[in-house]
Amino acid sequence: MAELERTLLRRLRDRDERAFRELIDQHRDRVYNITYRMLGNRAEAEDVAQEVFIAVFKTIDTFREESKFSTWLYRVTVNHCKNRIKYLARRHERDRDPLDETSHETNGAVAAPRGHVAPDRALEGAQLEGLLQDAIAQLEDDQRIVVVLRDVEDLSIEEICEITGLPDGTVKSRLHRARLVLRKRLQRHV
Amino acid sequence: MTDDAPPSPPPLRLAEPGGDAARPQDEELPEDVIARVSDLLDGALPAAERAEVERLIASDATWRRAHAELTETRNFLSGLQKAHAPVSFADGVTETIHQRSAGRLFAKRTLGDRVPLGALLVIALAALVVIGYVLWSSPTGSLKVDRPRSPQGSQGSAAVLP
B41 vs A123 pLDDT, higher one: B41
- Burial class from Cβ neighbours inside 10 Å (0-12, 13-18, 19+) for residue B118 reads exposed
A6 touches chain B (CB under 8 A): no
Chain B residue numbers touching A36 (CB-CB < 8 A): 83
B102 pLDDT higher than 90 = no
For residue B9, being part of any structural domain is answered with: no
A37 pLDDT higher than 90 = yes
For residue B134, being part of any structural domain is answered with: yes
B15 pLDDT higher than 80 = no
Counting the structural domains of chain B, the total is: 2
Q: Please tell me the distance from the alpha carbon of residue A79 to that of residue A163, in angstroms, as a whole number.
A: 9
Confirm if A109 and B83 have CB atoms less than 8 A apart.
yes
- ∠ CA A3-A6-A9, rounded to 5°: 155
Segments forming the whole domain that contains residue B128: 114-143
Q: Please tell me the distance from the alpha carbon of residue B98 to that of residue A77, in angstroms, as a whole number.
A: 21
Chain A residue numbers touching B96 (CB-CB < 8 A): 50, 54
> ipTM more than 0.90?
no
Supply the pLDDT for residue B103: 66
Supply the pLDDT for residue B140: 72
For residue B70, being part of any structural domain is answered with: yes
For residue B96, being part of any structural domain is answered with: no
For residue B67, being part of any structural domain is answered with: yes
User: Do B72 and B24 lie in a common domain?
Assistant: yes
For residue B87, being part of any structural domain is answered with: no
- pLDDT > 70 fraction of chain A, expressed in percent and rounded: 81
A47 pLDDT higher than 90 = yes
Q: Please tell me the distance from the alpha carbon of residue B96 to that of residue B92, in angstroms, as a whole number.
A: 6
**pLDDT-derived band of residue A51, with 50, 70 and 90 as boundaries?**
very high
For residue B31, being part of any structural domain is answered with: yes
The average confidence (pLDDT) of chain B is 75
Q: Please tell me the distance from the alpha carbon of residue B42 to that of residue A25, in angstroms, as a whole number.
A: 30
Confirm if A74 and A81 have CB atoms less than 8 A apart.
no
User: B107 vs chain A: nearest CA distance in angstroms?
Assistant: 7
Supply the pLDDT for residue B13: 47
**pLDDT-derived band of residue B156, with 50, 70 and 90 as boundaries?**
very low
Q: Would you list which residues of chain B are within 8 Å, Cβ to Cβ, of chain A? A: 1, 3-7, 25-26, 29, 31, 34-35, 38-39, 42, 44, 69-70, 72-74, 76-78, 80-86, 89-90, 92-94, 96-97, 100, 105-109
For residue B1, being part of any structural domain is answered with: no
Domains of chain A, earliest start first = 1-95 (1.10.1740.10), 117-190 (1.10.10.10)
